[in-house]
Amino acid sequence: MTTATLNRIKGFAWIGWLPGSLRNAGALLFVVVALWTLWTVTAAPVTILVDGAAVDASTHRSTVRQLLLDLGLELHEADRVQPALDQPLRPGDVIRIERAWPVQIIVDGRSMQAASWGETPSQVMADVGVIVDAYDRVLVGGESLALDAALPSRQVVVSQPAFAPVWPWARTQVVPLQLRVIRAVPLVVDDGTMPFVIRTTAPTVGEALRGAEITIYLGDRVVPSLGSAMTAGLRVTIQRSLPVVIELADRTVKTRTRGETVADALADMRVGVSGLDRVEPPLDSALFEDVKIAVTRVVEDVEVEEEIAPFDTVYVADANLPIDTQQLIHDGAEGITRTRYRVRYEDQQEAARTLEDTWIAQEPAERIIAYGQKIEPHVFTAEDGTSFTYWRRIRMSASSYSASTAGVSPDESYYGRTYTGDAMRFGVVAVDPRIIPLRSQVYVPDYGVGDALDTGSAILARRIDLGYDDSNLVLWNRWVDVYLLWPPPPAAEITWVIPNWPRPPQ
């Protein structure tokens, strides 16, 4: 017994001073603790490394096999263990365990469970004793994989313990790898020369021929059909076709046909020929390899061209029509001259054009619009009850300005002066003199009476600029009705038809 164990026993010497019942319980506890201590001290410490996960343990077992049985670690014969299972255990030993990949092999109608260290399908098959050749196909996880291709990475599922703690290797499980072997079957191919045999795993005739790199052209005939299911010993007959080139207007088609004449080739391609169409070589010509068949579409059509002569618009004054109103007197009519041609098209391109006749279908006629020149006084009552008599109302785009915002330097002699020489002030408005005569008066709602004493380079047609003093400038940018106050100017100074610019909003 070691010195440490004796010291632990001496530590329980006080038990003899306890009463009888307590002494018996204490003695039992002492025995248990002593045995546990003895067990712990005499156990050999080892490290178990399973698939890279390390666990420290203590054991009284003499071999690796016995220790693994205690731990409940089941091994497959393909698993790797170092040291060997029957090797004696020594304190401090590291037991390395690498578990092989569990696999399921489905072959020849049966399922096999095994484990393997193979890195490719062929290596796994060799481990489990399944013979496959180069024509057989192996499906790994449902996907086709070459025999010498690398297998996918392992998939590990980690589960959490439901109740008591478990060893780390019991919580991890490698998902078994499924390999399905599809055996190749023989197929006899007769393509008009010497029949030969291929082996294939394809499900249909077409896939089998493609896998064997046997080219099937559009015009070839395959019996049984390409979509037929594969069976062992099946015989496939291929009737070869001739390559031909069909040149159409919009495309060139390279195809194959089993026909004997040009007409047969066009019929196979569903190319119809009618009317004035031309075919080279002729339809009854015999086919030969790589023959070029040119189809020219010929169509004749009658086209009528029209030459349009625009009509003029004439405005006439009407003294009985109110100003700023218009009335259509006569609709204009365009002059129409027509020319007829007979046109021949080849492949949708014009090849010939023949003039047949020309005639005047309609003489041009002027459009006549009357504009009003009748001026009558009208009365407008403002919100404050003031009445104004006006002779014209114009919808205009209103802005505002003052002496300091007019774009004139204070150093200029005409700073603060209008076009007419008057001083700039509230009540002065800038207008287009062709629309509103200078020195006439207007009324603008929300502004008041304005004297037309100024102009501006941008103040044209339906534009008006409302003047202010610098101290009371109010910014305007909206459409308003502008009333031209009575009396009207002389008729020679009136623009009867106002340009529609800027265009008022609807």
Per-residue pLDDT for 28 more than 80? no
More confident residue, 65 or 386: 386
pLDDT at 15: 46
Per-residue pLDDT for 34 more than 80? no
Peptide bond into 502 cis (omega under 30): yes
- The most confident of the ranges 149-163, 237-251, 336-350, 398-412 is 398-412
More confident residue, 486 or 66: 486
Per-residue pLDDT for 124 more than 90? no
Q: How confident is the model at residue 8 (pLDDT cuts 50, 70, 90)?
A: very low
Q: How confident is the model at residue 288 (pLDDT cuts 50, 70, 90)?
A: confident
CA distance 217 to 345: 35
More confident residue, 14 or 416: 416
- The most confident of the ranges 161-175, 255-269, 421-435 is 421-435
More confident residue, 489 or 47: 489
pLDDT at 452: 98
More confident residue, 422 or 86: 422
pLDDT at 5: 41
Mean pLDDT of 12-34: 60
Q: Which among 70, 72, 69, 73 is positioned nearest to 50, based on CA atoms?
A: 73
Q: How confident is the model at residue 6 (pLDDT cuts 50, 70, 90)?
A: very low
Q: How confident is the model at residue 388 (pLDDT cuts 50, 70, 90)?
A: very high
Per-residue pLDDT for 10 more than 70? no
Note whether 405 and 473 are within 8 A (CB). yes
Q: How confident is the model at residue 55 (pLDDT cuts 50, 70, 90)?
A: confident
pLDDT at 57: 78
Pairing of strands 349-362, 335-346: antiparallel
pLDDT at 85: 80
**What's the Rg (C-alpha) of the chain?**
54
Give the neighbor-by-neighbor strand order of the sheet with 94-98. 53-59, 44-50, 94-98, 80-82
Q: How confident is the model at residue 136 (pLDDT cuts 50, 70, 90)?
A: confident
pLDDT at 481: 97
Report in angstroms the alpha-carbon separations of 443 from 135, 402, 486. 102, 19, 11
CB atoms closer than 10 angstroms to residue 266 = 20
Mean pLDDT of 3-19: 45
pLDDT at 1: 41
This prediction has a pTM of: 0.42
| Percent share of the chain, pLDDT over 70 | 88
- The most confident of the ranges 243-257, 283-297, 333-347, 439-453 is 439-453
Look at 6-10, 21-25, 109-113, 288-292 and tell me which has the smallest mean pLDDT: 6-10
Note whether 346 and 340 are within 8 A (CB). no
Residue 165, token pair as written in the block: 């703690």
Q: How confident is the model at residue 162 (pLDDT cuts 50, 70, 90)?
A: low
First to last CA, the chain: 114
Residue 382, token pair as written in the block: 């403002």
Phi and psi, residue 167, nearest 5°: -65, 150
Amino acid (one-letter) located at 142: G
Q: Which residues, 6 or more positions from 236, have their beta carbon under 8 angstroms from its beta carbon?
A: 187, 188, 189, 190, 205, 209, 222, 223, 224
CA distance 234 to 220: 19
Mean pLDDT of 346-375: 91
pLDDT at 4: 40
CA distance 113 to 314: 103
More confident residue, 279 or 171: 279
Residue 298, token pair as written in the block: 């010929």
- The most confident of the ranges 39-53, 128-142, 358-372 is 358-372
Q: How confident is the model at residue 415 (pLDDT cuts 50, 70, 90)?
A: very high
Q: Which among 218, 245, 127, 227 is positioned nearest to 177, based on CA atoms?
A: 127
User: pLDDT tens digits, residue range 252-272?
Assistant: 988 888 888 999 888 888 898
Phi and psi, residue 95, nearest 5°: -100, 115
User: pLDDT tens digits, residue range 151-161?
Assistant: 887 776 766 66
User: pLDDT tens digits, residue range 454-464?
Assistant: 999 999 999 99
pLDDT at 402: 96
More confident residue, 320 or 114: 320
pLDDT at 439: 96
For all residues of the chain together, what is the average pLDDT? 85
Q: Which among 328, 333, 338, 339 is positioned nearest to 364, based on CA atoms?
A: 333
Mean pLDDT of 41-58: 77
